Structure 1
Amino acid sequence: MGEKVLIKGNEAIGEAAIRANCQCFFGYPITPQTELAAYMSKMMPKLGRTFLQAESEISAINMVYGAAGSGVRVLTSSSSPGISLKSEGISYIAGAELPCVIVNIVRGGPGLGGIQPAQSDYFQATKGGAHGDFHMPVYAPASVQEMVDLVQEAFDVADIYRTPCMIMGDGMLGQMMEPVEFKERNKREIKNKDWAANGLKGRKKHNVINSLYLDPEELERHNLKLEAKFNEIREKETKYELYNCEKECDLIMVAYGTVSRICKNVIEMAKKNGINLGLIRPITLWPFPEEAFDKTINKTKFGYISVEMSLGQMVEDVKLSVNGRNKVYFYGRTGGMVPSPVEILNKIKEIIELNKKDSNKIHNLTKGGENNGSCI
């Protein structure tokens, strides 16, 4: 095991990107991710690499398009409204099949919102993130160490599939400090970027980077090609954690990022109350880990509860994954409010009590005979 370093989440992302051979950073300051841009402004020039603070988020994402098109590894970062400004460029990048990594340290919203932690950009990140038929892998770290590991993973996945990848954290993860080990990663096979627009390089014709297809049949072929790539990503790159799901649970929580850490504390608190809880922690928000629900559908008495720092966004994917096979509940806080273990546990107790009352009611109605049972 290597030496551990105490480092802030935002700075850890920057250092991980540098170690992943990121050659260019283009961004614009916005809290709560500004420390990431500040770290890159300090470190990149020392290494002979490019740091540029653009005049706007729109400029920054188009610079990413240019650098990615030349074949180098490139990073940009922002927070919520800044990502919205980048969304047109993100769609162009996906359409042109260019690899890059985009970091969103989410703030409360909508509008300018606040700098407190939130998860209210889930829809934006996982349902495309911009216009057109496309997806991008979205990683949701739950610790500073995982920020490091997933940034490096995202650069590899971006190159392998020629796609933008997003790291989505919240303001708490960006600002907290934890000990981190910068481990040597298992190297994945990444092909030479013979598609890059970086000169002839012995070729007879220049490569052209493009996301414009005026002929509808040609555009449909391109979209179907992208769809095949997204299906391969779904098959090979979905990541999740199952926690305390080995035995039957009263209820299984579904949570990611900071909230998943809180939910692990809820599991320990619940044991003291004679309640057994499990946790599904999506590590990729897209592709969403539907397999985790197939594995646990027969291990929960009363269903699932999606716990979020939003008014209810991931819960829709939970419902789609459960597909009517069990009940799905929701508990969330919004506007930068972080749910406490006690309030989550109280909500779970309430759900369990309601289910027990319903079970007793059904039992009392059905024990009298078949006719009563048919009335339910």
Structure 2
Amino acid sequence: MIDIDNVRADTPACESVLHFDNAGASLMPDPVWQAMQWVLKDERAFGGYEAERRAADDLAAFYTEFAALLNADPTEIAYVENATRAWDMAFYGLDLKPGDRVITHGSEYASNYLAMLHQARRRGFHIDVAPSDASGQIDVAALEDMITPATKLIAITHVPTQGGLVNPAAAVGAVARRHGVLYLLDACQSVGQIDPDVQAIGCDILSGTGRKYLRGPRGTGFLYVRQSVLDRIDPPFIDLHAATWTGPDSYELAPGARRFETWESNIAGRVGLMTAVRYAQSIGLPAIEARVANLATKLRDALSVTDDVSVHDQGVTRCGLVTFRKDGLEATDIADRLRDRGINISVSTLPYARLDLAPRGLHSLARASVHYFNTEDEIERFAGAVAML
């Protein structure tokens, strides 16, 4: 096991830069970088096919490592090139018809909601937006009251890109199971900072990325699809990896979730993501979750006592994403000025969270995200830098 207090040893030297945008661009641990380099060296020396053959054990371990991480079966795991495409492969494969209803929440990620609008225009189904409770998270009781025989899907984001909240995913899962409704969970911002368990959550489909809290390479993602619902999703496109051409006019889909994959993929990226999962497991997701939550609380406290700064996080349970504003400055100005001081943060703006920010009277929020490799000293330095703006 890796001691969580010593992970800086596996993090690139960056003493001149404070990284608080790691939810969007997390620092890659040395073991992940090294694993990718080995594959790329083989590609350079032997070519892509031989490099893939040499990486066969690590490529196979991708499925077992993710299965262990999510408490799933390896046959329920697929590698997909990014989180959006993983979510799309499942959603666009659903047989939604005119008159069907899909329930989501105002915190849903913009790309997902756009896809819902896209398919609603094509298929004729209706989108219902569940209200928030007093804390800002999805109102589970109201969600249950919205379900009708026409409701075919509940699709929410576990950790929205703005607001710092953790939606009560397991409570939503219990509602979905009681009513026999498919449940699609976007875990892009949560897997890697929150201990995930698809059995406890009760989701049928879960999508995510490698580049955020898992600290894997960009351009990598994953998809979990419960075995019992596989045949209810028709992949929106297939190739010779996703299916077998059994006759001139016939084919069979690949068994398990690999029917959502494509033959051509980034081998170094797949090995890198597998290594990132293995690295996170070696630390322990419960330890990571506790560390991130503790640092985020300290950051909220430090910002809350800073003059002219207001924290805008919501939810009963909060995560490593901390959103705030400073009087007289736009969020983009805050990010630009902090970057000039060697501090990286992100910004959540209205186009990315229209259903959430607009009702709160907000146009944008600065977002500072902590990870387990951040320190309390860095939090103090960050709050001091914000105060000086």
Higher CA-based Rg: 1
TM-score bucket of the superposed structures, by smaller chain: 0.3 to 0.5
TM-score, length-normalised on structure 1? Answer: 0.33
Higher relative CO (Cα under 8 Å, sequence separation at least 6) belongs to 2
Scaled by the length of structure 2, the TM-score of the pair is: 0.32
